[in-house]
Amino acid sequence: MKNNKLFILLGLTTAVLASCSDPMEEITELKLGRNLSPVGIEAKGVNETSARLQWTATEGATSYVVEVFADDSLTFEGTPAQTVNVTTSTVQLNNLIYDTQYSARVKALTDGDESRTSKWHGIYFRTNAQQIFNSIKEEQIADRSVILTWTPGEAATKIVATEVDGTATIVKNLTAEEVEAGKATVEGLNPETKYNFKLFNGDKQRGNREVTTIADLNGAILVHVGDDIKAICAEAAPGATLALYGGTHLINGGDGTAGALVVNKNLTIKGIYPTNIPVINGRFQIEDGASLSLSQLILDGTNTSGDQTFNFKTADVTYGPLDVQNCEIKNYTKGVYYGNVTATIESITFNNCLIHDVICEGGDLFDCRKSYIKVLTFSNSTIYHCATTRDFIRYDDASGSFTDAAPVITVDHCTIDDCCNETANKRLLYVRFVGNSITWTNNLVTNTQAIFSNQSKTAVPTFGNSAYFGANNLKNVVEKDGNLFTDDKATWLSASPYSGSSPVFTYNEDNAKKGWGDPRWAK
């Protein structure tokens, strides 16, 4: 039965082939009833007032009509803002309005045959916002206000200020007088906060600037270059804030040298302008249990006595916090801090700092001999070319002078390069104060001969997500007079993680997102 079906199918196929062999007209083109709609429409070279449209040419079309609608998103309602006829598959649109969404549609025509006109095909695009804001000068930026200027008489209705790292928004409606002058002051801002300012005419943007407000000046003592900063500190009330203008402020040590600023009361010292960070040339002598807060400063030890940046001098007291934020510390001879008196220090913090070229002749980099620092924190900071032949963190055992003391040490998200690198087996953690606990996380340590510690009193740190390059002594455990522990969660790199060299430690692409080291370089 199956064979019979096969013979019948073959016979039918032969009959069909025979009929197709009859002569017939050959098809050489496919002609539709109308032109195909233009495809591949793109908007190129869009700026504030113009754009270029281009599309794939339609076969058989002799021209195209283009309609452009303002404030539209492919609805094409109302009257077009522009209508243009062209014979090529591109058109330059001019006299557009800034910061406006446009819809454009194109159809293909054939001369003399209206019946072949294609259907419309469309696209939308937005013209660029304008930039008529002038550059903002230093003197226009205050702690709670910013003065903005633009071309006088240019139409505008409001300025909108938004915190870049927050959600707070301030709307400043402009007066006719402000528009005529091209100048307005936005008030009610927060100190030391980055804002985005946008200038609008109705709902169309005409300007855009980002500005960081300066340090809080409310009640602050303003210090200009040339003022006697030693006398100002001596006369300031406890709890005072000194706000420094840009330039170099010399702590006069006599004979043109840089001396010591005595801090014997709680003080805050900060720079005013983030674009013009002030330099303090000198060092700090902390007495009588004072606290000291520093931010947005450069501390320069050039031409000083050679002592540490911070020296705690009064014994048998409890010092408030030493808090150092967003500062650069450089060119000190002995070290960064020194606690060689029997005293309690509530905390020492270095955050978002650059510390470099502190060579440490006669002392260690971070040096505590007789004092008790309750909480010691280094975070988001870069320390390089320091302690060439000395230890990194030194914390001697003064536990016998203090009851229930338990120092807490944290080193997190720090980049440490070329430290303890001229003498083998100096220690990153020369910590002997009984009862210490240490956290060492997210750090990047490179180019050092140091070991972690050879001291039995040094607590084995809580390690996590740190990386090392050119630091073989940290990796090897040598129990007798050598490295007593290593980072059991470490990544040991075989090539440098940097795309440049000091003092720019930008991480190369492979390492930028690993979370190692100072975040400022992972960009």
Rounded Cα distance, 522 and 217, in Å = 33
Superfamily of domain 39-126: Immunoglobulins (2.60.40.10)
pLDDT score, position 32: 64
Residue pair 420/448 in contact (Cβ under 8 Å)? The answer is yes
CA–CA distance, 170 with 40 (Å, rounded to integer): 43
Alpha-carbon separation of residue 359 from 332, 335, 424 (angstroms): 7, 7, 16
Determine the pLDDT at residue 7. Answer: 36
Quote the CA–CA distance of 413 and 441 in Å, as a whole number: 7
**pTM of the shown model:** 0.77
What does the pLDDT read at residue 135?
95
Find the helix or strand (DSSP H, E) in which 464 lies.
strand 462-464
Cα–Cα dist 18/194, whole Å: 85
Residues 251, 225: contact at Cβ < 8 Å?
no
Helix (H) or strand (E) holding 221: strand 221-223
- Could you please report the per-residue DSSP string of 398-460? -GGGSSS---EEEEES-EEEEES-SSTT-BSEEE-STT-EEEEES-EEES---BS---TTSPP
Q: Please tell me the distance from the alpha carbon of residue 305 to that of residue 297, in angstroms, as a whole number.
A: 20
Locate 488 and state its tokens. 């059991």
Q: What's the pLDDT at 31? A: 55
Nearest-CA neighbor of 163 among 182, 133, 191, 128?
191
| Three-state DSSP state, 170 | strand
Strands 145-149 and 121-126, sheet pairing: unpaired
- pLDDT tens for 144-195 read 999 999 999 999 999 999 999 878 899 999 999 999 999 999 999 999 899 9
CA dist 405 and 318 (Å) reads 13
pLDDT score, position 167: 81
Q: Which of 291, 497, 516 is nearest to 411 (CA)?
A: 516
CATH code, 138-212: 2.60.40.10
Q: Which residues does the chain have with pLDDT short of 70?
A: 1-32
